[in-house]
């Protein structure tokens, strides 16, 4: 039997994890949550739990575990699946747990997705193959293979994968029964096209999410910035508030001054939400940018930020630690 026929005959597996697809599709604010590290190089579960609790207090409805912000690409798969399992065990009764189990290898993505559902995640986040890009036909076979495993959100971020998932292909993928929706980072008109065709979307661009939510039919946001100002993002998703949107512009611009997650890591360390430990190749923002961050936080108001003791610390260069494993 040819491999293409085997793919067509592959049985669809719907994991029995109490998944409520409608609950996912109704979620306005999902945080791409940071993975904190200890000085010994291990994942800091205590800091993760404290941070997750604060997020839930301010109305965050779900977490993407091990995404770009969570440095999933720097975690071993053992660490990755452990963190999905831990998050589901600790917080799964109060929020959605979405595991970033995509890969540029279909075999690896299938294996990770099977493990993620086995430990209880509610849905997977699936990215298209990157670096070793494939054709449109290969892309569709890749996504249909991982969609066969269980309910998934497709993630389109051409700036990182160097390949756009065009609407024609997304419409084909949307026919799969395990397709939930799209995390889209391309442009507002792409979001509008999907929304008009009854495809659920989440913005992957924090700087556009307010406009997309209220003017282009976007369902909500999978946010980086909500790691530190979840309350303001919750309000922007719930109601039209151009004042808050403008108020956060400089902060969001600073967070993405360097490739994500450099900015959010640095500010979370300055706010005392985690130890100042970077897993290489990530390092802190330069001192002049950190000083600018302090000014921006003071302008917005420290009370709007998650922090330790309502303070922002001016960390020195020698206070940051780098780990290689």
Q: What is residue 21's predicted lDDT score, i.e. its pLDDT?
A: 86
Q: Which residues pair with 107 in a beta bridge?
A: none
**Helix (H) or strand (E) run with residue 32 in it:** strand 29-32
Give catalytic status of residue 235 as yes or no: no
Q: The tokens of 220 are what?
A: 């909500």
Whether 183 contacts 154, CB under 8 Å: yes
In the prediction, which pLDDT does 325 show? 79
Q: Are 285 and 241 in contact (CB under 8 A)?
A: no
Question: Measuring CA to CA, which residue among 98, 86, 116, 103 is closest to residue 222?
Answer: 98
Q: State pLDDT tens for residues 262-297.
A: 999 999 999 999 999 999 999 999 999 999 999 999
Name all contacts of 202-208 with Cβ < 8 Å and 24+ positions apart: 202/27, 202/30, 202/153, 204/155, 204/156, 204/157, 206/233, 206/252, 206/255, 206/256, 207/249, 207/252, 207/253, 207/256
pLDDT of residue 19: 55
229 Cα distance to chain centroid? 15
Which pLDDT score, from 0 to 100, does residue 41 have?
96
Choice among 34, 88, 183, 247 that is catalytic: 183
Mark the ranges of the chain whose per-residue pLDDT is less than 50: 1-18
Which one of the listed residues 34, 88, 155, 194 is annotated catalytic?
A: 155
Tokens standing for residue 244: 């808050």
Residue 144 confidence (pLDDT): 98
pLDDT of residue 119: 97
Residue 216 annotated in active site: no
């Amino acid at each position: 039997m040819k491999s293409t026929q085997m793919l067509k005959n592959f049985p669809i597996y719907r994991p029995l994890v109490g998944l409520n697809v409608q609950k996912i599709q109704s979620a306005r604010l999902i945080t791409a949550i940071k993975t904190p590290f200890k000085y010994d190089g291990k994942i800091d579960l205590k800091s993760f739990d404290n941070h997750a609790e604060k997020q839930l207090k301010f109305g965050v409805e779900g977490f993407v575990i091990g995404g770009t912000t969570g440095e999933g690409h720097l975690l071993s798969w053992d660490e990755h699946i452990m963190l999905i399992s831990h998050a589901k065990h600790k917080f799964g009764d109060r929020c959605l747990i979405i595991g970033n189990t995509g890969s540029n290898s279909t075999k690896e993505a299938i294996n990770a997705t099977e493990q993620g559902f086995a430990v209880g995640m509610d849905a997977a986040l699936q990215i298209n193959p990157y670096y070793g890009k494939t054709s449109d036909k290969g892309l569709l076979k890749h996504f249909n293979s991982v969609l066969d495993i269980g309910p998934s959100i497709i993630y389109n971020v051409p700036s990182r994968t160097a390949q756009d998932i065009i609407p024609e292909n997304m419409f084909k993928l949307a026919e799969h029964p395990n397709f939930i929706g799209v995390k889209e980072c391309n442009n507002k008109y792409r979001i509008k096209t999907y929304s008009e065709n009854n495809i659920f979307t989440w913005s992957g661009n924090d700087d556009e999410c307010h406009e997309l939510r209220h003017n282009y039919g976007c369902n909500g946001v999978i946010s980086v910035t909500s790691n530190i100002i979840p309350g303001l993002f919750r309000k922007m998703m719930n109601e039209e508030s151009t004042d808050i949107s403008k108020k956060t512009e400089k902060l969001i611009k600073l967070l993405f001054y360097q490739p994500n997650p450099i900015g959010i890591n640095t500010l979370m360390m300055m706010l005392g939400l985690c130890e100042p430990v970077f897993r290489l190749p990530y390092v802190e923002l330069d001192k002049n940018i950190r000083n600018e961050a302090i000014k921006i936080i003071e302008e917005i108001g420290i009370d709007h930020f998650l922090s330790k003791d309502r303070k922002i610390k001016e960390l020195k260069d020698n206070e940051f630690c780098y780990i290689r494993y």
